[in-house]
Amino acid sequence: MTTARLPRYIDDSLTAIDILLTLPGIGEVPYTAREDDPEPQGRAIFAAAAAGEFGEVAVYVPPVPSDDQIAATLTRVVQLHLDGAAQARGYDNILSACSYAAVENAFQAEGAAFLAWRAACWVHCQSVLTDCQEGLRPIPAAADLVAELPALVLP
């Protein structure tokens, strides 16, 4: 190695640094130096980079999720919650539970409750999604999103 530049941590653990190394006869190559690298030269490069020998190590900045990624994440959390509640009552999933609302049967009232609850949850999810995409609130953790969803009230 002849030179190294642009060191930056690759995550919040601060145990790995991406760096551009210039190697004799090869040129500049990207390299990830790890604190626990199995090779001594990898650990040495990490130690030198972490000590600032190649310039200040840039902090890790997590990527900003796209609107589509935010939507997919929130949708998955809500769908799993809805399906889990229905499965806890013996249905295959939320769609199965809601289907009983359509015709007169012993499970119609419960099906109607699941149907109304599902709609309320999706309305809330859409509101959260819009707020997140507009930067009005941070993206909630899965448990926090589930905690703020409307409660299921069964007959």
Q: Domain ranges in the chain? A: 3-50, 67-148
Which residues does residue 33 pair with via DSSP β-bridges, in sequence order?
17
Tell me the pLDDT tens digit for each residue of 131-143: 999 989 999 999 9
134 is written with which tokens?
């507009």
Share of the chain above pLDDT 70, in %: 99
Q: What is the pLDDT of residue 154?
A: 96
| Residue pLDDT, tens place only, 100-133 | 999 999 999 999 999 999 999 999 999 999 999 9
Which whole number is the average pLDDT over 10-32? 92
Q: Which residues of 31-68 are buried (b: 16+ CB within 10 A; e: fewer)?
A: bebeeebeeeebeebbebbbeeebeebeeeeeeeeeee
